[in-house]
Each structure stands twice: as C-alpha cells, then as structure tokens.
Structure 1
C-alpha cells in the first residue's frame, strides 16, 4: 500500500476542515486506492506541527486553538523542506502579490511534491509559471478549491469538455455577493444591511470588499481564463463591477421591470483567439437561467462548438465545500 504524506499550509477554518475530512476519509482512500493517506505537517504563519506517523484530530485541534507567539526566527519554508511531504495543500489567505503561498507552491512543484491550491493569490499572480513548473518536474498542480470550490468549473472545462472548443463561459462565481443581492431583492434590505446579515451568518468576511467589489469573481475568472483557455489575463486589467452602490430605488426599478440583479463573470474567446474577461452587474430577465439562482448558490454556463450549451447550478459556499473540493483534487492525484 502506497503511503501519501500530506502537508497543509494555512490552518484557518478551511485548513482545519481539510484536516477533518482527511481523517474521516482515511478508510475510503485505503479501500478505493490502496493509499495510506496521512496528514503529517501543518504550517501556520509563525509555527508548524509535524508527526511522521500522522497528526490525529486531537493533536491538530489543540494546535489550531493554541495562540501563536511571535517568532522572528521561524522559517516556514525550511519547515516544509524538512517534512518532505508528497502533497502540499495550500489553504492560506489569498494575497494580491501571491504571498507565502506562491513560495510554498513553487517549492513543492520543483521538489517532487504535488500541489493543491485552495487560496487564489498564487494562481492569480503566476498560474502560467506554476503550471510550467509542474510540467517540467512531473508534478501535479490542482486548483478546484480556488475556482469556485464545490461548483465544478476547471474540471468541467478541462476534462468533461475535452476536445471541444469552449466559446464562452459566464457564471455567478461568488456566493456572498449573490446572497447580498438576493436579500436586497427579496427582503428590501440595503446593501449594508444584507452584508451585515451575511457577516452574522458567517457567509461574509469581516472586510467584505473582496467579494462585493468584484475582486473574488475577477480572481476566479483570471485563473480560469489562464488555465482553461491559455489566456494571458491580468487581474488588474479586468473590467470589474461592484454592488456596493446599489440603492433601494434601483432595486424597486428592477422589480417594476421584472429584472433580477446578478453579478456575472464572463470569459469570451474571440475569433482571433484572444480571451476577454469581465465582471458585470447585470439585470437579467426572469427567464434567464441565472434568475432563479438565489442565496449563496453559484452557477456556470458554458457555450461549446459541438456539445452545445451546459448549465451547472449549485455547490455550497462554505469552508467544508472548499476543503472537499481540494480533496477531490487529492483523489485525482492518488488514483493516477
């Protein structure tokens, strides 16, 4: 039975859910893939935890709730090097410049370690470079958790539609934003009130700007465009709409004209082969496929040359779903 040692970098809510699911699924991996999968290393911003025999739930739960002390001498990369895992799962925060996650993933791919990215920062900054490293060194770079998580996007485009020409992709890629718009339309809440409700429910972050100003959708589109279309899209070049300034008067006007507001991300492959990307606030008709996509639910619609159009709706928007998407990628790796 092959042994698979797993390292998780970033151990917030999502990282902890990865650890929990890994433990729950150990027998599944053994039975289906004859794989002995063990979480052996965890990296936080100023400390690490290692056990060559595997870190059980008691150990990692205690570690997760232990307050970190500042440690100027702590070197996360040296810790990662010492663990020598088979798979690195990057679950740290998504930083605009790539952050430590970019360094961790680069090291992994260069050193016989497969990488699964949940955070988006590294992929937004240098997906092409990371993919080239993976190809050069025979390692895998998996990105389901960073591209709408439980909503299948990258697998749909790269595997399910293999051989097709995908002409256009459009979707609702940010559950938080869709929740806010739904509450504004259905309950007459202001944007601020809807965001506060989302925060109380654990849907929105303390700083919601990344979601409501379109950055989350734009980041996912950047990764998808570059990974599935071979584009050279830069996040800062994307036309990006925000829902921040929507007024109750606009909401009433949309209702009067039987329209529903949605923040829609679009990837368009042009006739000359170039790829264009946009994040737009659209008022869609009630007959539009996205009109009934409410709450935190997400959706993707794909236009192809020979398989027609496809619509996928659903996928939870929470830390468990993000972790599960990453472990879907893990199963693809260990089953090869």
Structure 2
C-alpha cells in the first residue's frame, strides 16, 4: 500500500470542507488507487496543525498559533499540497509561495485559489515541467462546472475555436433575481449577502474580475494561450439599471455576465461583460446559482456544460477530483 501525504494551505470554509471530505474518502482511495492518504498539515494565516502520522477531523478545532507558512508545509513531508487560501491576482499571494515551494521540490500541487495562477501561471507551469510535478487547477477554474477537464479530456484532438462562459454564480443569481422580480441590484445583492451566498465585499464578482481571472486560467492552462489579466477587457454588472432590465424583459432578451475567449488566427482575445440572449438560447436558461460554459470546436461541434453545487462542498469536490487524477497517474506510473 502506497502512502500519499497531503497538506492544505488555507483553512477557511473551503479548506476545511476539503480536509473533511478527504478524510471521509480515505477508504475510496485505498480501494481504487492502492494508496493510503494521510492529511499531515493544515495551515491558516496565523495557526495550523502538523502531524506526520495524520490529522483527524476532531483536531480541526485545536489549531496551534504560529503554525503557518510554507516552511510548515515543507516540514510536514507532504507529497501533495492543496492551495485553498484567499486569492489576490495582483500579488499571487498567499498561495504563490506555497505552490512555488511544492513544485520546485517536485511535489504535486492542486490550486483552488485563483490568484497565484493568474499572477504567475506560466512560471508555475514551467517549474512543474522542470521537476516533473503535476499542477491541477479544476477548483480554480469553475469548481463543480467542468472546464479544464472538458478541454483536456472530453475534447482531446479537437481544435478549440472559442468559448464563452457564465463563470460566476453570484452574478448569475443577481441578474436572475433582477429579471424575475424587477428589483434593483442593491436589493438583490443584500438578499444574496444575507443568505451567505454573496461576499461581504462583492466587487470582485460584480465588477467582472472573478470571471476575468477564470478566463486567464482557462486560456493559459486549457488552451496554451499566454494571456495576462491586463489582456482581458473587463466589464461588470454594477451599472445595470432597472430601465435596462425592463427593456430586456420587454424585448425577450436575458442578460448574463459572460467571459469570452475568441480566436483570431493565432491570437486569443478575452473579454468580460454583459451579453443578452434570446429566450431559446441555452445560456438564457441557466438559472440562479448555476454556471455554464459553451465551447466551439472544429470537429466536435458546439459543447455546452452546466454545473451547480453548494459551496464550499462543490469547490472542495473539484479539488479532490484533481487529487484522484494525481493518485491515478501515480498508480499508472507504478504499473499496478
């Protein structure tokens, strides 16, 4: 029985959900991959735990002050590092330091946080190639919505001509509420925040930056297109008025905040903004908290996928899907 030691950097709602789900699936990992998975470290911004014999869920409430930072992860002997911390595309932190350290040491890494991938995606991929480590990014590029996996596996061999996506569930929920009930953005946002669905600071969502970050990740990691965040033309929904909503409803159009990657020869263009769709378009029928992606190909036609899952469980599940890809690859490498 092989052993895989996992460390989680970032221990908020998503990090804790990932840790709990990982421990609950240990028997699955033994049965399917012949691997004993041990959670050897969890670290937040100021506290954490480290135990090379494995951490049980009962200990999550007893984080130790000062147990934090990349050095703690390195000392844990982790074979796989999961970055589940906060996201900052301007600096890449705090996840960038954890990912660089893991990949440089030849350890596999799973990114849930988008910031490091947007800030330094090319450098992280190059480090992974140089050391032979695997870097997986499902949780950062759509979570329950299959995006990277769809491109890498289901559309293997086809040329991607372009894609568009409703990649932010919060903005889709807000626009859906505004259209269905004719309420103002401020009222829809207050409802979403009261329900714990929208962030206390929603600017990253409503101004389009979360969608832009996901486009950059899809471009770099899915399409091999070297786009930076500054290459994306970014618009949001903060200026949508009740008059516009009424006009779209009258005209039978449905607004969505959409991220789009368009191919012009060998060049890729990226944009985020409000687009409207006729009522019979699949995107017009994407409700509430659901996300969607539509990919145009040369040989497989047009592919549409929808995904909706409760957070933080959906994002945790996407990260652990990546872990299963890693465990499967390791088993193939062992020839067992």
Paired residue for 1:252?
246
Check the 8 A contact 2:38/2:53 in 1, yes or no: yes
Paired residue for 2:296?
303
The structural deviation recorded for 1:237 is 2.6
The structural deviation recorded for 1:52 is 1.4
Paired residue for 1:210?
204
- The C-alpha deviation readout for 1:229-256, integer Å capped at 9, x for no partner, is 2212111231111111111111111111
Q: Distance in 1 between matches of 2:84 and 2:294?
A: 27
Q: Distance in 2 between matches of 1:58 and 1:219?
A: 35
Paired residue for 1:6?
6
SS state of the match for residue 311, structure 1?
A: strand
Q: Distance in 2 between matches of 1:21 and 1:235?
A: 32
The structural deviation recorded for 1:112 is 2.2
- Corresponding position: 1:165 with 2:156: no
Paired residue for 2:259?
265
Q: Distance in 2 between matches of 1:22 and 1:239?
A: 38
Q: Distance in 1 between matches of 2:308 and 2:147?
A: 11
Paired residue for 2:322?
329
Q: Which runs of 5+ in 1 are unaligned?
A: none
Q: Distance in 1 between matches of 2:70 and 2:140?
A: 22
- The C-alpha deviation readout for 1:83-142, integer Å capped at 9, x for no partner, is 120100000000121012111101100112100000000000111111111111011000
TM-score, normalisation: structure 2: 0.95
Paired residue for 1:39?
39
Q: Distance in 2 between matches of 1:283 and 1:62?
A: 49
The structural deviation recorded for 1:317 is 5.3
SS state of the match for residue 5, structure 1?
A: strand
Aligned partner (choices 94, 107, 113) of residue 100 of structure 1: 94
Structure 1 segments (4+ residues) deviating >2 Å: none
Q: Distance in 1 between matches of 2:144 and 2:102?
A: 25
Check the 8 A contact 1:2/1:35 in 2, yes or no: yes
- Corresponding position: 1:178 with 2:154: no
Q: Distance in 2 between matches of 1:229 and 1:52?
A: 38
Q: Distance in 1 between matches of 2:222 and 2:72?
A: 33
- The C-alpha deviation readout for 1:3-22, integer Å capped at 9, x for no partner, is 11100000000000001101
Aligned partner (choices 129, 136, 139) of residue 135 of structure 1: 129
RMSD (Å), alpha carbons: 1.3
Q: Which segment drifts farther, 155-164 or 166-175?
A: 155-164
Aligned partner (choices 135, 150, 158) of residue 144 of structure 2: 150
The structure-2 alpha-carbon separation of the partners of 1:155 and 1:311, relative to structure 1 and needing over 3 Å to count, comes to: same
